[in-house]
């Protein structure tokens, strides 16, 4: 994957506000994005499950795995790769931490 150079970054929260093992949803540009703190590492993904567009924030996040509430599809929180089923993955958004602020890009990363 490579970062989209044209992405505008939006501050969504402070790093201290999103504790390890937590997730929050944010509007970033025209996208609903979920930000996850997995073991102190922050990740941003499209907030909708790729299966039937259910909001992932309504699901659960436990032990590094994000689960959609509708049909229990599961995803690795650090990579976005599908656990069950393994054939699907989450769309990643660029994220950076700047002076304790969590910034998310308004365009998804391109997959290669």
pLDDT per position in the chain (112 positions), as tens?
444 456 799 999 999 999 999 999 999 999 999 999 998 999 999 999 999 889 999 999 999 999 999 999 999 999 999 999 999 999 999 999 999 999 999 999 976 4
Would you state the pLDDT for residue 111? 65
Residue 25: its H or E element: strand 23-28
Residue 85, preceding bond cis, omega within 30 degrees?
A: yes
**pTM confidence score:** 0.90
**What pLDDT is stored for residue 3 in this prediction?**
47
CATH 2.102.10.10 applies to domain 9-105: yes
Phi and psi based region of residue 17 (left: phi greater than 0; alpha: psi -120 to 50; beta: remaining)? alpha
* Domain regions of the chain by residue span: 9-105
């Amino acid at each position: 994957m490579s970062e989209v150079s044209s992405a505008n970054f939006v501050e969504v929260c402070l790093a201290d506000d999103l504790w390890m093992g937590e997730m929050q949803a944010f509007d970033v540009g025209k996208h609903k994005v979920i930000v996850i703190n997995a073991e102190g590492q922050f990740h941003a993904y499209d907030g909708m499950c790729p299966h039937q567009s259910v909001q992932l924030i309504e699901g659960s996040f436990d032990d590094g795995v994000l689960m959609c509430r509708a049909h229990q599809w599961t995803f690795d929180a650090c990579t976005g790769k599908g656990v069950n089923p393994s054939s699907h993955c989450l769309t990643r958004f660029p994220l950076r931490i700047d002076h304790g602020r969590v910034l998310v890009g308004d365009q998804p990363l391109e997959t290669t």
